[in-house]
Amino acid sequence: MSAETKKKIEVKNLTKLFGKNQKEALEMIADGASKEEVLEKTGCTIGVKDVSFAVSQGEVFVVMGLSGSGKSTLIRCINLLNKPTSGEIFIDGEDITKLDSRQLRQMRQTKLAMVFQHFGLFTHKTVMENVEYGLEVKGMSVEERKETARNNLLAVGLKGYEDSYPRQLSGGMQQRVGLARALATDPDILLMDEPFSALDPLIRRDMQQELLDIQSKLQKTIVFITHDINEAFKIGDRVAVMKDGVVEQIGTPEEILDSPASDYIKDFVQDVDRSKVLQAKDIMFRPSALISDTAGLKTAIREMETNGISSIFVLDKQRKLKGIATIDDAVAALDAKKTLAEILTQDYHTTTPDVYVRDLIPIARETKLPLAVLSDDGRLLGIIVRASVLSALV
């Protein structure tokens, strides 16, 4: 996270203990006692131990770990459903552990929303009424809250289900209602506690993509809890891996894959399908040989010969891709007195930076030309050669 990036959430030296004799337990922790030693001597269970991290505005920060690692305890501390034993939690620079009950209630209503694992819907209320609930608590007018609820149901793909009841919906659709309800209050921060773990694999993948699509538009700050490493690496901008209440490592998925901080992390990631984690932007590179669409055939041929390549991408002044020229076509065109523009071909594949390597494998197997990675407006960001796609699987 760069110095210029705004810290939306900052957790400093957070510890959460359960049980009596917490003062003695804290002293033991400070002296380096293990979780088992603290439990045996004091009866206190360590939920979270001396955890520190910051989440920047608009970031998806995933906390992952096995059952009992402390991840759910941690997220409940962030909105003070669990009151920390020690440490500080800042939201927009304000230590929320010092808020009184009125200030805390206001903060939860305006800045935070939580999506739970088991949906948490009111079974006696319709879909519309469930989504409206938080707006009703805030005192919004009936007309305004219904309009807001409709817009958010549309955003999660549930238009037409306003009058249905939760029991009439599939698990995935119920979770979409929960997400719409959280989004309806327009929170700055979404806290998501294993929201997709109760769903079957196909629906789970759909919901992961739904979340990413919504995030690309809304740019919320999200803290997402999961025990699934593939889910963590797919969704997270950065990932924190927890064990026994302690954060073992924080980094981007690629950093954790390439440089595991401990044997525990190394074991944890050894079975990760890298093709489902790495994206086009992770394996692309900026080509050393590119030419302008105003260049001549001799320039194109010289660039290919100098760089030992058999094809070259051609760009306009805005770096927008105009086409590709091959060495065979360029040499033949020179003899036929043709121009570079006349031999440009569109017979190549393009992709965007966020496409997963898994989805590029079929293309890499059939093409002989590099893949062009393009921005939304058609600018060339980089290229991917076939070997890069296949080597990313190793």
Q: Give the pLDDT confidence of 21-51 residue by residue, as tens digits.
A: 899 999 999 898 888 999 999 999 999 999 9
- Side chain identity, residue 20: K
- Give me the pLDDT at residue 118, please: 67
60 beta partners: 222
**Phi-psi domain of 186 (left: phi exceeds 0; alpha: psi -120 through 50; beta: other):** left
Task: Please report where in the chains the tokens 């990313």 appear, as a residue.
Answer: 392
Span(s) in the chain for CATH 3.40.50.300:
7-111+187-272
Topology of domain 281-391 in CATH is CBS-domain (3.10.580)
Average pLDDT of the segment spanning 222-232: 92
In whole angstroms, what is the distance from residue 277 CA to residue 193 CA?
21
In whole angstroms, what is the distance from residue 13 CA to residue 90 CA?
12
Cα separations in angstroms, 335 against 33, 291, 299, 300, 344: 80, 20, 15, 14, 16
Q: Which of 381, 389, 391 is nearest to 285 (CA)?
A: 381
Average pLDDT of the segment spanning 77-98: 94
pLDDT of 249 above 70 = yes
Going by pLDDT thresholds of 50, 70 and 90, the confidence category of residue 204 is confident
In whole angstroms, what is the distance from residue 190 CA to residue 240 CA?
17
User: In this structure, are strands 189-193 and 238-243 parallel, antiparallel, or unpaired?
Assistant: unpaired
Tokens standing for 229?
A: 């490493």
- Cβ pair 348, 368 in contact under 8 A: no
Q: Which of 23, 120, 18, 32 is nearest to 73 (CA)?
A: 18
pLDDT of 5 above 80 = no
Residues contacting residue 364 through CB under 8 Å, at least 6 positions apart: 371, 384, 386, 389, 390
Report the b/e string of 37-47 with b at 16+ CB within 10 A. Answer: ebbeebebbbb
At 176, which helix (H) or strand (E)?
Answer: helix 171-184
CATH no., domain 7-111+187-272: 3.40.50.300
Going by pLDDT thresholds of 50, 70 and 90, the confidence category of residue 97 is very high
In whole angstroms, what is the distance from residue 9 CA to residue 80 CA?
13
pLDDT tens-digit profile of 112-157? Answer: 988 877 667 888 999 999 999 888 888 889 999 999 999 999 988 8
pLDDT tens-digit profile of 330-360? Answer: 999 988 999 999 999 888 899 998 888 888 9
Tokens standing for 77?
A: 């501390």
Span(s) in the chain for CATH 3.10.580.10:
281-391
In whole angstroms, what is the distance from residue 351 CA to residue 173 CA?
31
Cα separations in angstroms, 156 against 101, 149, 185, 359: 33, 11, 15, 24
pLDDT of 388 above 90 = no
pLDDT of 3 above 50 = no
Task: Please report where in the chains the tokens 């997709």 appear, as a residue.
Answer: 196
In whole angstroms, what is the distance from residue 150 CA to residue 131 CA?
9
- Cβ pair 155, 214 in contact under 8 A: yes
pLDDT of 241 above 70 = yes
Tokens standing for 286?
A: 């900026």
In whole angstroms, what is the distance from residue 58 CA to residue 260 CA?
26
